[in-house]
Amino acid sequence: MPELIKIEQTGRVVLVTLNRPEALNALNSQVMNELATELKPYDRDPNVGCFVITGSPKAFAAGADIKEMSDKDYMDVFHEDFFAGWDAFAKLRTPKIAAVSGFALGGGCELAMMCDIIYCSESAKFGQPEIKLGVIPGMGGSQRLTKLVGKVKSMDMILTGKMMNAAEALEANLVARIFPDDTLVSETLKIAETIAGFGKASTLLARESVERALETSLQEGILFERRVFHSLFATEDQSEGMAAFTEKRKAAFKGR
Ligand code: CAA
């Protein structure tokens, strides 16, 4: 049983709540390992269509665990390949939505950016304050933040350690929508249900195609998209989705 994350499945949506309130959900190795191992079976389950990752009202996550890191030296982090374990979370294929209230700092901001969509509440504060600790982002922040908000805003955050509030994060395209604090999770779950209600193959492949845009040239990306589009004509969900439109009824996707 996981100790530092809570997992609740309702229908096709899995809500994952970071649960280390005494440390503002600081992300230690145990949290990383629990996210990597506990979510894998859900990821592979055709009956699960979306993850929602959230924290507490005060903190989504206040960063990697500074106390766990502080005594490590270069050879420790090098041999452990420290933080490489986060790739398993980032690589989950099922769509992941981060629902962020309060602090999303350092690794917390990076964890949110590993998700496919970020929604936040009015209290959210995003930041990459690692520079104040004598280091730099280590869970992908310098790369993902730059791809999301562009060089200038990314430099501003990473070089000064300043935080972005919810309105600034929306304006910078870091988050997709802002909700009131008390409805953030319920509104996010509703959107997750919508996503999870579509065919799982098309949803996973749509996600993979958008991700590909960040990794490759336009022509290669368009070719990838077209091949994926063709492949979906081998699914029952494509026949069902198009038949339902013609017959003016709601599609009943089976994930096949
Ligand atoms: N690691 C370990 N413990 C943390 C933590 C972190 N990242 N953030 C907060 N905590 C702990 C505090 O030490 C404190 O514990 P104690 O009660 O045992 O002292 C508890 O959580 C509550 O925190 P505060 O008392 O500091 O709460 P606050 O409301 O006064 O301040 C805060 C909130 C501004 C977020 C402040 O806690 C803070 O600055 N935290 C560190 C933020 C940070 O630097 N994050 C980056 C970490 S490095 C990183 O993430 C590297 C990477 O790229 C992956």
**Who contacts 177 (Cβ-Cβ below 8 Å, separation ≥6)?**
119, 170
Mean pLDDT, the chain, integer: 97
Q: Given this model, what pLDDT does residue 121 score? A: 98
Q: Is the pTM of this model over 0.95?
A: yes
Q: Given this model, what pLDDT does residue 192 score? A: 98
- Residue 255 Cβ inside 6 Å of ligand 1? The answer reads no
**Who contacts 167 (Cβ-Cβ below 8 Å, separation ≥6)?**
178
Q: Given this model, what pLDDT does residue 138 score? A: 98
Catalytic residue list: 64, 107, 110, 130
Cα first-last separation, the chain: 31
Interface ipTM: 0.98
Instruction: Categorize the per-residue pLDDT at 231 as very low, low, confident or very high, splitting at 50, 70 and 90.
Output: very high
CA of 127 to the centre of ligand 1 (A): 12
pLDDT digits (tens, 9 = 90+) for 137-150: 999 999 999 999 99
Instruction: Categorize the per-residue pLDDT at 120 as very low, low, confident or very high, splitting at 50, 70 and 90.
Output: very high
pLDDT digits (tens, 9 = 90+) for 46-76: 999 999 999 999 999 999 999 999 999 999 9
- Residue 103 Cβ inside 6 Å of ligand 1? The answer reads yes
